[in-house]
Structure 1
Amino acid sequence: MKKAILISLLMLFALSLSATLGTTWNQYYFRFELINKVELQELTRMISIDNICGNWVYAYANDTEWEAFEKLGYRTQLLPAPSSQFTGTIARNPGEMRNWDAYPTYDAYVAMMTGFATSYPNLCQIVNVGTTVNGRQIIFAKISDNVASHEAEPELMYSGTIHGDEVTGYMLLLRLIDTLLSQYGSDPRITNLVNNAEIWIGPNTNPDGTYYGGNNTLASARRANGNGYDLNRNFPNQNGSTNTGPIQIETQVMMDFALSRHISLAANFHGGAEVVNFPWDYTYSLHPDDSWYISLSHVYADLVQANGPSGYFTSVSSNGVTNGADWYVIAGGRQDWMNYTAQSREVTIEVSNTKMPAASTMPNYWNYNYDAMLSYLEQGLYGIHGIVSDPYGNPLAATITVNSHDTAVSVISTDPANGDFYRYLNPGSYNLTISAAGYPDKVITGVVVNANQKTSLNVTMGELLHQQEISLAPGWNLLSFNIDLGENTIGTIFDNDLRQIKSQSATYSPLVPAHFNNLAGISSGKGYWVNNLSSENLVVQGNLLSTSSSQELASGWNLVAYLPDTQMAVSTALAGINAYLQEVRSLDSVWTPGGGSLSQMQPGKAYWIKVSQACNLIYP
């Protein structure tokens, strides 16, 4: 009965969320007892589940969500907001952040980010990817050795504090930016990362939540954005439907940013628990790369457990990793959206049980997490690194599918700007299918992936077109094409100087009425008489025909195409029909078994060949 009531209330609740809450709203932080965990699949569409401890579910709600939830009759206990216990030191300018034991004001944060680009202009650009509901900036640092260029290298992304009251990641990522820049050139690991990747770091993607009480304090920080919506429940579901209310400005900004890039590996930093959470969050079905995700998550979790105090990173699982849905199901999460829509590989990293730890503890969290943060980014340098291009080296937009492995939610695409792609897989041998519009699919077999190594794979789609040039003299010419003419026609090959073209049995002339013409088109691998008004060079592109193609010759004279792409002695070129060969004629020369003025056969020419009986001509 409760489930039926819940579904009915959810339908009414969805209608009530069609408008935003406005700038004045209440935040409810509470817990309730839940015996049947299955109910979470419906509840997550109504309230923002935060954590589960035993049978107790911890959650947030805005006014509309709280009103709907109260009607369900769960035994509920309101709790103090996590920010109400905040005692952190506030830094009013970048200089007060030098020891990394204070939280910055919003203005100090912006000044720090701007200062990174000023101090390291060759390594760092600061990009304002969008503006929040209340007009604050969502800022990312782009870090690379050639920061002004978009190179063919993996794009790696760290972002933090999508929940405004979870600020440990905020501090870690600010310090990571500083460390990557200041230690470049002296620290080999950092130098290698910056030289071989394009790193994007956004320390705070919900500044309206963090600075809800004003730009100079974190004491009133809230989980949601300025409109009261949990941004990590606001991304479109896989079927395109929305979860909690209309898509918020901050959500749209992040989606636009992610889809404008080709982020191959990412992590979203949270607080309130200590665990690496990997996909999926929205379903109990496993991601096709589930085993790889487990290994990836352990790269981070194993290091922080080794570098942290006893018990660190064990609040959710003893090994520090969890499948998202196994912990608790949510819908509308960014991690899942980044995977099934943006074709990235993203996890959620919860770095502190306390959402807003004392600022004095930030150096400790840095020591616990620093090695793991670098090691996770280094995973983006491994796996299959490929470039897909056309025969001329131009990059292509292509889809990469791991055969007998991928589904629609795990295939990846190239960055069409450079044609590069990055496919992360467990060690093994794989077959890939590369698909690009206008080209036949190409299957690459036996691609070997080794642990902690890069496998380079350059793929050329299609074949390089051969360019054939044929010189026409005024009057009659004998010619043939040794390339695939494709959709070329008489009209596209010859210009207005054409007077007549004849095959062995048909003719075409633009000078006579159409009903006199019985040569419908021109074919590859055939010989033709061509009468042209003036000297002209024909230039046609196409794939070379195989010289092993057989041409059927009738007894007597035959007008024959010359298929090889290099000239050849008559006796060599026609060795396969030597027993029947009686005479060969070009326009002005002749060859017979006893000699003659014709010694070489040349590409672009056609020849009259006389044989004593029917036979098949195959060039060597």
Structure 2
Amino acid sequence: MFTKRRVLGAVAAAAGVLLLATMASPAGAQTPDRGTPTRGVYTVPAGDAAARTVVAGSGVDVLGLREGALTIVATPEQARSLRARGFTLDQVGDFDAMLAERSGGAGTSAVTADFPPGDEAYHTYAEMTQVLRRAAQSYPNLARTSSVGRSYEGRELPIIKISDNVAQDEAEPEVLFTCNQHAREHLTTEMCIRIVNRFTQGYATDPAIKQLVDTREIWVIPQVNPDGSEYDIAGGRYKGWRKNRQGYGTDPNRNWGYKWGCCGGSSGSPTSDTYRGTAPFSAPETRAVSNFVNSRVVGGTQQIKAHIDFHTYSELVLWPYGYTYADTAPGLDQTQARRFQDVGRQMAATNNYRPQQSSDLYITDGSVNDWMWAQHKILSYTFEMYPRSASGIGGFYPPASVIPRETARNDRAVDILLRAAG
């Protein structure tokens, strides 16, 4: 399912396939780099959510959590500031050197529009759109592609609908899957591609898949942040890029409208990796996806009942709220919180992820899950995918060989959420 020829992008462009003419080379976009000095990778012991929130709120780039310690990327100034606040930082490497090593060294071509050598099985933006086009062409009664809008650099944000009567807007529960809000989390795009292929290719032979497709309307957005994703692999070298490409970049998952910038769970500094933007939905990508979700209110009722936003890494199933440590808060009562917990734990039991409220990791504000629930009462989760832990930047760049295993690992969890939407 995940093997592909490297000629796909060229074939797609030559054929003028869906979306690619406007997606491939947007003009006039300004894309400055972070503008930060040399950064180190550090481990920081932080045994509780409050301490982790302080670290994350300092503007550093949090890579993951490992055995009670956060792995972060920090400038010298950020490192000094955290040490002054009483945190112990142990440097494990240089960020840029680690990226160069993971990319295969300094000899990578500067004109390669693809993943570094050995990781070609990951899908570029052009290849991802080709997958969606092929699904719609091969299964015209089940799959239909469209766009929810454009990215900052002008790329279309493709979405695919999967349903047994795909051309009709049926009175069936809808479920949305989104991937790749954060640019460097390429395994998530593969997760969304897995969902598309599984529910189209398996429809005729798998009764369980047929039953779900016949009774649900499934929406999949494989790349919410295509500009950032393409930038992260430009030249065939990983850059560790997280944000979109708007100015110094906005963190899409701190730009959603509910409790935006409220609670120390994002940064107001444009150079921070958790920069929340100038205003809620100031990033065109989050604005486009939120407008699509808003459009699914039909006759006063939100048709989308459940949602997963896939991320990497740490192997977690997370649910709202992220902006507060409290299990319940305005708009989320005890019964509703218990439902989040029950469904989250059921899903985690199938993939061996750890289930927890988002804020148990650290406080975040302006996140997609909080907005989905508060605005629309959508049962919304974040999955942090493989690996469970890593010593540095490599956690975001697992070898392509793990794609089939780590995406199939979530099949049963996806099915549980689809059934829960009913």
TM-score by length of 1: 0.49
Determine the structure 1 residue equivalent to 2:135: 116
Q: Post-superposition shift, 1:60?
A: 5.5
- Indicate which of 208, 214, 218 corresponds to 1:199: 218
Pick closer, same or farther for the CA change 1:133–1:79 going to 2, 3 Å: farther
Once superposed, what is the RMSD of the aligned Cα atoms? 3.2
Q: Post-superposition shift, 1:41?
A: 4.5
Q: Post-superposition shift, 1:200?
A: 0.5
Determine the structure 2 residue equivalent to 1:251: 286
Aligned equivalents of 1:29, 1:340: Cα separation in 2 = 37
Residues 341-360 of structure 1: per-residue CA shift (max 9 Å, x gap): 23211011112023221111
2:15 matches 1:33: no
Pick closer, same or farther for the CA change 1:339–1:46 going to 2, 3 Å: farther
Q: Post-superposition shift, 1:225?
A: 1.1
Query: Which one-letter code corresponds to 1:293 in the other structure?
Result: F
Determine the structure 1 residue equivalent to 2:411: 370
Aligned equivalents of 2:415, 2:170: Cα separation in 1 = 21
2:356 matches 1:345: no
Identical pairs, percent: 26
Q: Post-superposition shift, 1:303?
A: 1.2
Secondary structure of 1:212 counterpart? helix
Pick closer, same or farther for the CA change 1:331–1:259 going to 2, 3 Å: same
2:368 matches 1:334: yes
Pick closer, same or farther for the CA change 1:59–1:128 going to 2, 3 Å: farther
Please show how residues 434-445 of structure 1 align to structure 2 within 5 Å.
none
Aligned equivalents of 1:150, 1:176: Cα separation in 2 = 21
Query: Which one-letter code corresponds to 1:182 in the other structure?
Result: Q
Residues 342-388 of structure 1: per-residue CA shift (max 9 Å, x gap): 3211011112023221111212213422232223222212xxxxxxx
Aligned equivalents of 2:284, 2:161: Cα separation in 1 = 22
Pick closer, same or farther for the CA change 1:186–1:230 going to 2, 3 Å: same
Query: Which one-letter code corresponds to 1:237 in the other structure?
Result: Y
Q: Which runs of 5+ in 2 are unaligned?
A: 1-28, 105-111, 114-118, 267-275, 297-301, 388-394
Aligned equivalents of 1:71, 1:108: Cα separation in 2 = 43
- Indicate which of 323, 344, 356 corresponds to 2:397: 356
2:58 matches 1:24: no
Determine the structure 2 residue equivalent to 1:521: none
Aligned equivalents of 1:373, 1:293: Cα separation in 2 = 15
Aligned equivalents of 1:204, 1:218: Cα separation in 2 = 19
Rg comparison, structure with higher value? 1
Residues 92-112 of structure 1: per-residue CA shift (max 9 Å, x gap): 99xxxxxx9811222111111
Please show how residues 421-500 of structure 1 align to structure 2 within 5 Å.
none
Q: Post-superposition shift, 1:56?
A: 3.4
Query: Which one-letter code corresponds to 1:191 in the other structure?
Result: K
Query: Which one-letter code corresponds to 2:411 in the other structure?
Result: Y
Pick closer, same or farther for the CA change 1:342–1:42 going to 2, 3 Å: farther
Please show how residues 568-579 of structure 1 align to structure 2 within 5 Å.
none
Aligned equivalents of 1:132, 1:197: Cα separation in 2 = 28
Query: What is the number of equivalent residue pairs in this alignment?
Result: 336
Secondary structure of 1:104 counterpart? coil
Whether the 8 Å CA contact 1:211–1:220 is kept in 2: the answer is no
Aligned equivalents of 1:339, 1:79: Cα separation in 2 = 39
Pick closer, same or farther for the CA change 1:225–1:46 going to 2, 3 Å: farther
Residues 492-529 of structure 1: per-residue CA shift (max 9 Å, x gap): xxxxxxxxxxxxxxxxxxxxxxxxxxxxxxxxxxxxxx
Secondary structure of 1:330 counterpart? coil
Residues 185-234 of structure 1: per-residue CA shift (max 9 Å, x gap): 32111111111111011122112222115667473352111132221122
Pick closer, same or farther for the CA change 1:22–1:185 going to 2, 3 Å: closer
Pick closer, same or farther for the CA change 1:197–1:282 going to 2, 3 Å: same
Q: Post-superposition shift, 1:22?
A: 5.0
Aligned equivalents of 2:62, 2:399: Cα separation in 1 = 24
2:310 matches 1:269: yes
Q: Which runs of 5+ in 1 are unaligned?
A: 1-19, 94-99, 306-312, 314-319, 382-620
Aligned equivalents of 1:150, 1:216: Cα separation in 2 = 42
Aligned equivalents of 2:210, 2:120: Cα separation in 1 = 26
Secondary structure of 2:181 counterpart? coil
Aligned equivalents of 2:253, 2:176: Cα separation in 1 = 17
Whether the 8 Å CA contact 2:49–2:359 is kept in 1: the answer is no
* Greater share of strand: 1
Determine the structure 1 residue equivalent to 2:255: 234
Whether the 8 Å CA contact 2:177–2:192 is kept in 1: the answer is yes
- Indicate which of 295, 298, 323 corresponds to 2:345: 298
* Greater share of helix: 2
Please show how residues 81-96 of structure 1 align to structure 2 within 5 Å.
84=100, 85-86=102-103
Whether the 8 Å CA contact 1:101–1:362 is kept in 2: the answer is no
Whether the 8 Å CA contact 1:126–1:140 is kept in 2: the answer is yes
Determine the structure 2 residue equivalent to 1:596: none
Residues 394-425 of structure 1: per-residue CA shift (max 9 Å, x gap): xxxxxxxxxxxxxxxxxxxxxxxxxxxxxxxx
Whether the 8 Å CA contact 2:194–2:408 is kept in 1: the answer is no
